[in-house]
Each structure stands twice: as C-alpha cells, then as structure tokens.
Amino acid sequence: MQLSRLILPALLLIALPVAYSPAAAEAAIGVAMDDFSYTDTSAEPANQTAAHERRLSAFMAALRRDIGADGRYRPVASAEDGAAFKVIGGIQKTSTLVQWAKVAVIDVGARKLVMDKLYTFRGDNDESWQRAEMFVSREIMAALATPAPVALAVFEFELEDTTAASAGASATSDASYLAEVTTSVREALGQSGRYRIVEVSAEATKARALRDCGGCEAAIAQKLGADQSLIGVVRRVSRTEYTLGFQVRDARTGAVLARGDSGLRLGADYSWKRGAVRLVSERLVETR
C-alpha cells in the first residue's frame, strides 16, 4: 500500500512564496486547499468511480465550508492569493470497508509542514464520508491554530572564570561540562515543541567569545536559517559557586527578546547542566 504517493507529488509541485504579511494579523488567515486525490485499490468488481467522485466533491466542499465558517480563517485559491497555509491530501480505499486519508498542512511563509498525518476510516457510504470530513476538519483547524516552532540557534555555552584556578588542569573537564550544558539546553528546548533547534557548527562562531561580540550571534544565526539566537554563559565565582545567564535575540533585527540570570548558586561544576536547563525552561517555556 503506497499511501505516500497520494500526497508526495503535490508536495513536490507546490511553490511556496512568502505571501502572508504579519501586518494583516487582525484579518482572517488565508488557507488554500487543493482537491484531495482519490485512489481505489480495493479490487471490488463494481465500478464505483462516479460515486467516489461525488463523495469526494461533497467532502471537499464541506471541508472548505467548515474551515471558512471559523472566523479565524478564509479560504483562498492559492498561495499567490494571500494564503498563509496550504492544505493538501489524498484518500485511498484499500478494501470494501477500509479507507485511508493522508493530510498535510504547510505553513507557506515558513516553508515547513505543521501537520502531516495518516487517518483510517471505515465504510464507503455518505455517512462514513461525512464523519471522516468532520474529524479531518477539526484536525486541520487544530493544526492551523498551533504556532509553528521558532527556529532557534543555540550556541555553545561559554565559561567566564575569574577564580585562581581558572588556568589550571581543569580546562578539559570544564569543556566537557559546558558541552553537557549546551546539549541539555538544546534538548530541553527542542522537546518543548516551542522551538526547532538549528544545527550550529563549530566553524560558525570562529572561536570568538560571543558574550563580548555585541550581538554578532544574531547575524550568524540568520545565516544558519534561524529565527532567533541564544547564547549562554556560566560564570564561575568559586570552585563551588557559580551563576548562569542567557540571552535570546531576533536573528533578523538583533533585538534582545529574552534574557535570564540565575543569581548565585551553590554546587560543583557537574551541577551546571541542571541549573541551565532549569533557567531556560522557566524563562522560555513555562512562562509562555
């Protein structure tokens, strides 16, 4: 059963111009929707092409009507006509009583999928198609109402150490603990669903201290395709005392969007990871 063929060609052929402007945020959001494809591989002896065409036409009309009835959205013909989202899909009948529907929603401006799901429904009569349409329309509207994750470039956390032992043999362990901090923060933010973590290579920062570069990390993040940048610093006050700080900037404008500072904390270097994850989670995830 090659269900991916129902939707993949449409995905490949869609042009995704940036047509939606944030200036129209108060207006209804444009949603373009192509007619779904239909494939019957049930091998039933009776030719039901006419019935399937009629039911699919009614399905699409109801789907567009339901989306348009929600005041937040307005059906439009295409992305060129102001669509912020595009809905595509296909239905395949695999046996007398079993049909599958593949549905995807594309954020046109961000050029990314916000929904890509496969559903099954039983029956091939008007009532079963109507039930399927009602369920699919709710799923689509839920996807439309869910903000797309922010593309975030999380740069390697840096160490600011002014203790007497700062140049000693602890450099290797410090680097290891800092790497753990960065990895854990990326994982926590990525798992929150609010952020899509953009890969940052070591070469991207060119071995300079981002905390002292006057916001240069924003431009680097933009080149990496991120919406925002995050830099973080562990400040060692003593061998058992430290503070943590981070700053988030808009990658396009460089404006500071969020910052946080832990204040003085007690704990050895192995506790940096726990403190950093808690700080960014409290300021960037739990408060939004």
Confidence (pLDDT) at 12: 32
216-239: average pLDDT: 92
pLDDT value, residue 182 = 95
- Closest-CA residue to 247 (of 225, 219, 218, 223): 218
Interatomic CA distance for residues 40 and 266, integer angstroms: 66
Per-residue confidence band for 80, with pLDDT thresholds at 50, 70 and 90: confident
Question: Bigger pLDDT: 17 or 121?
Answer: 121
The pair of three-digit structure tokens given for residue 230, joined into one six-digit string? 């995050």
Give residue 16's pLDDT. 37
Mean pLDDT (the chain, rounded): 84
- What's the average model confidence in pLDDT over 211-221? 91
Average pLDDT over residues 82-100: 94
Q: How many residues does the chain have?
A: 288
pLDDT tens per residue across span 7-21: 433 333 333 333 444
Digit-coded pLDDT (tens) for 34-73: 999 999 999 999 999 999 999 999 999 999 999 999 888 9
pLDDT (tens digit, 9 = 90+) per residue, 184-196?
999 999 888 888 8
Whole-prediction pTM: 0.57
Q: Quick check: 98 pLDDT over 90?
A: yes
Q: What is the pLDDT of residue 37?
A: 97
pLDDT, position 287: 64
> What residues have CB less than 8 Å from 4, skipping those under 6 apart?
102
Residue 167, phi then psi, degrees to nearest 5: -105, 15
Q: How confident is the model at residue 166 (pLDDT cuts 50, 70, 90)?
A: low
pLDDT tens-digit map of 134-158: 999 999 999 988 777 888 999 999 9
pLDDT band at 286 (very low <50, low <70, confident <90, very high): confident
Report the percentage of the chain scoring pLDDT > 70: 85
3-state helix, strand, coil in the chain (%, to 5): 40, 30, 30
